[in-house]
Structure 1
Amino acid sequence: MSDLKKDIQFVKGIGPKKAYKLNKLGIFTLKDLLYYFPRQYEDRNNLKKIVELKNEDKATIKALIVGVTTSNPRKGMTLTKVDVKDETGYAKLVFFNQPYISNTFKNGDTVLVFGKVKKEFKNIEFRSCEIEHLSNSPKNACKIMPIYPLTFGVTNKEIISIIKSVLLNKELTIKEYLPKDIIDKYKLCSIDYAIRNIHSPSNKESFKIALYRIIFEEFLILQLGLFMFKNGVTEVEGIKFEENEKLKDIINSLPFKLTKAQNRALNEIIEDMKSSKVMNRLVQGDVGSGKTVVALLSLANCVLNGYQGALMAPTEILAEQHYISLTETLRGFGMNVELLVGSLTKKQKERVLERVKNKEIDILIGTHALIEDKVEFGRLGLVITDEQHRFGVRQRGKLSDKGNNPDVLVMTATPIPRTLALILYGDLDISIIDELPPGRQPIDTIAVSKDKRDRAYNNLVRSEVEKGRQVYIVCPLVEESESIEAKAAVELVDELKQEYFSDLRVGLLHGKMKASEKESIMKSFKNKDLDILVSTTVIEVGVNVPNATLMIIENAERFGLAQLHQLRGRVGRGKHKSYCILIYASKSEVCRQRMSIMEETNDGFKISEKDLEIRGPGEFFGTRQHGLPELRIANIFKHMKILKIAQQEARYIIGEDLKLQKFENKLLKNEVIDKFEHVAREISLN
Structure 2
Amino acid sequence: MSDSKTPLTLANLSEIPLTRLKGIGPKKEKALNSLEIFSVFDVLMYLPRRYIDRTNEAKIASLQVGEEGMILVEVLNVYKQRTRNRRVIVTATVTDQTGNVVLTFFNQPWRERQLKVGSEVIIFGKLDQYRGEFRMVNPVVDLLGDKTGRFVPVYPQSGKAGLTTWEFANWTKDAITKSSVRGFAEPLPKFLREKYQLISRDDAFSLIHDPPNLQEMLKARKRLVFDELLRIQLLLVARKRQLELSTQGIRHEFKGDFFKKLVNSLPFELTRAQNNVISEIFNDLRARHPMHRLLQGDVGSGKTLVAVAGLVSAVEGGKQGAIMAPTEVLAEQHYAGINELLSDFSVHDSKNLLGERNLNLALLTSQTPEKDAREIREKLSQGTIDIIVGTHSLIQESVRFLDIGLTVVDEQHRFGVDQRAALQNKGSDKTIPDLLVMTATPIPRTAAMTVYGDLDVSVLDELPEGRNPITTKKIIDSVELWTQVQQELDLGHQAFVVCPLIDESENISTSSAESTYHRLKDQELTDASVGLLHGRMSSKEKQSIMERFRDGHIDVLVSTTVIEVGVNVPNATVMVILGAERFGIAQLHQLRGRVGRGSAQSICFLVSDSQTPESVSRLQALEESTDGFHLAEVDLEIRGEGTIMGIEQKGRNDLRVASLRRDKEWVGHARDAAIALLGSLNGIEDIELLIDEMNLFFSEEEVEYLFKS
TM-score in terms of structure 1 length = 0.81
CA shift, 1:674, in A, is 5.7
Q: Which one of 278, 299, 308 corresponds to residue 266 of structure 1?
A: 278
Letter in 1 for 2:467: R
Letter in 2 for 1:316: E
CA displacement, residues 622-681 of structure 1 (integer Å, 9 cap, x when unaligned): 534899984333233422343444344334323322xx7987211213445664549658
Mapping 1:331-342, distance limit 5 Å: 331-332=343-344, 333=346, 334-342=358-366
> Contact 1:471–1:549 (CA<8 Å) still a contact in 2?
yes
> Contact 2:249–2:288 (CA<8 Å) still a contact in 1?
yes
Matched, 1:238 2:261: no
3-state SS of 1:293 partner: helix
CA shift, 1:50, in A, is 5.0
Change (3 A) 1:71 1:37: closer
Partner of 1:541: 565
> Contact 2:262–2:341 (CA<8 Å) still a contact in 1?
no
Partner of 1:209: 219
Matched, 1:308 2:320: yes
CA shift, 1:518, in A, is 1.6
CA shift, 1:294, in A, is 2.1
CA shift, 1:336, in A, is 3.2
Q: Which one of 79, 82, 90 corresponds to residue 80 of structure 1?
A: 90
CA displacement, residues 317-368 of structure 1 (integer Å, 9 cap, x when unaligned): 2222112223343344323333343555777666655553443433232334
3-state SS of 1:453 partner: coil
CA displacement, residues 33-54 of structure 1 (integer Å, 9 cap, x when unaligned): 4587569436384666654554
Letter in 1 for 2:234: L
Partner of 2:351: none
> Contact 2:155–2:168 (CA<8 Å) still a contact in 1?
no
Q: Distance in 1 between matches of 2:31 and 2:423?
A: 41
- Contiguous gaps of at least 5 residues in structure 1: none
Change (3 A) 1:62 1:540: closer
Q: Distance in 2 between matches of 1:473 and 1:7?
A: 59
Matched, 1:445 2:472: yes
Q: Which one of 409, 414, 425 corresponds to residue 436 of structure 2?
A: 409
Q: Which one of 611, 615, 622 corresponds to residue 598 of structure 1?
A: 622
Change (3 A) 1:343 1:616: farther
Matched, 1:380 2:407: no
Partner of 1:279: 291
Q: Which one of 529, 535, 538 corresponds to residue 514 of structure 1?
A: 538
CA displacement, residues 47-91 of structure 1 (integer Å, 9 cap, x when unaligned): 66654554334333444635x554332222122333456755544
CA shift, 1:209, in A, is 3.1
Q: Distance in 1 between matches of 2:119 and 2:333?
A: 73
Change (3 A) 1:559 1:167: farther
Change (3 A) 1:293 1:32: farther
> Contact 1:617–1:623 (CA<8 Å) still a contact in 2?
no
Matched, 1:177 2:187: yes
Matched, 1:607 2:638: no
Q: Distance in 1 between matches of 2:12 and 2:414?
A: 36
CA shift, 1:447, in A, is 2.0
> Contact 1:486–1:511 (CA<8 Å) still a contact in 2?
no
Change (3 A) 1:415 1:670: same
Q: Distance in 1 between matches of 2:433 and 2:73?
A: 70
Q: Distance in 2 between matches of 1:202 and 1:651?
A: 35
Mapping 1:6-17, distance limit 5 Å: 13=26
Count of residues paired in the alignment: 666
Letter in 2 for 1:58: G
Q: Distance in 2 between matches of 1:510 and 1:648?
A: 46
Partner of 1:664: 686
TM-score in terms of structure 2 length = 0.79
Q: Which one of 582, 599, 603 corresponds to residue 606 of structure 2?
A: 582
Partner of 2:134: 124
Change (3 A) 1:670 1:398: farther
3-state SS of 2:478 partner: helix
Matched, 1:330 2:342: yes
Partner of 2:233: 223
Partner of 1:436: 463
CA displacement, residues 95-132 of structure 1 (integer Å, 9 cap, x when unaligned): 323445557778x7555462423334741223324679
Matched, 1:296 2:303: no
Partner of 2:657: 633
Q: Distance in 2 between matches of 1:366 and 1:667?
A: 46
Change (3 A) 1:276 1:14: farther
CA shift, 1:32, in A, is 9.1
Q: Distance in 2 between matches of 1:213 and 1:160?
A: 24
Q: Distance in 1 between matches of 2:361 and 2:114?
A: 78
Partner of 2:580: 556
Change (3 A) 1:20 1:135: closer
> Contact 1:470–1:549 (CA<8 Å) still a contact in 2?
yes
Q: CA RMSD in A?
A: 4.5
Letter in 2 for 1:312: M
Change (3 A) 1:342 1:31: farther
> Contact 1:112–1:131 (CA<8 Å) still a contact in 2?
yes
Partner of 1:476: 500
Change (3 A) 1:379 1:50: closer
Q: In terms of mean alpha carbon deviation, does 468-477 or 331-340 score higher?
A: 331-340
CA shift, 1:618, in A, is 5.4
3-state SS of 2:466 partner: coil
Q: Distance in 1 between matches of 2:140 and 2:275?
A: 65
CA shift, 1:183, in A, is 3.9
Q: Distance in 2 between matches of 1:127 and 1:508?
A: 48
CA shift, 1:154, in A, is 6.0
Q: In terms of mean alpha carbon deviation, does 502-511 or 564-573 score higher?
A: 502-511
Change (3 A) 1:72 1:280: closer
Change (3 A) 1:638 1:102: closer
Q: Distance in 2 between matches of 1:489 and 1:238?
A: 48
3-state SS of 2:138 partner: strand
Partner of 1:530: 554
> Contact 1:14–1:162 (CA<8 Å) still a contact in 2?
no
Change (3 A) 1:102 1:601: closer
Letter in 2 for 1:523: E
Mapping 1:359-370, distance limit 5 Å: 359-370=383-394
Change (3 A) 1:654 1:355: same
- Contiguous gaps of at least 5 residues in structure 2: 2-10, 347-357
Q: Which one of 558, 567, 571 corresponds to residue 595 of structure 2?
A: 571
Q: Distance in 2 between matches of 1:160 and 1:393?
A: 44
CA shift, 1:550, in A, is 0.5
Q: Calculate percent identity across the aligned residue pairs.
A: 36
Q: Distance in 1 between matches of 2:144 and 2:456?
A: 61
Matched, 1:455 2:479: yes
CA displacement, residues 458-504 of structure 1 (integer Å, 9 cap, x when unaligned): 211111112221111122389xx9xx999943344344445533443
Matched, 1:256 2:238: no
Change (3 A) 1:129 1:639: closer
Change (3 A) 1:267 1:257: farther
Q: In terms of mean alpha carbon deviation, does 436-445 or 347-356 score higher?
A: 347-356
Matched, 1:623 2:650: no
> Contact 1:9–1:18 (CA<8 Å) still a contact in 2?
no
CA shift, 1:522, in A, is 0.7
3-state SS of 1:211 partner: helix
CA displacement, residues 423-444 of structure 1 (integer Å, 9 cap, x when unaligned): 5544444444444334322211
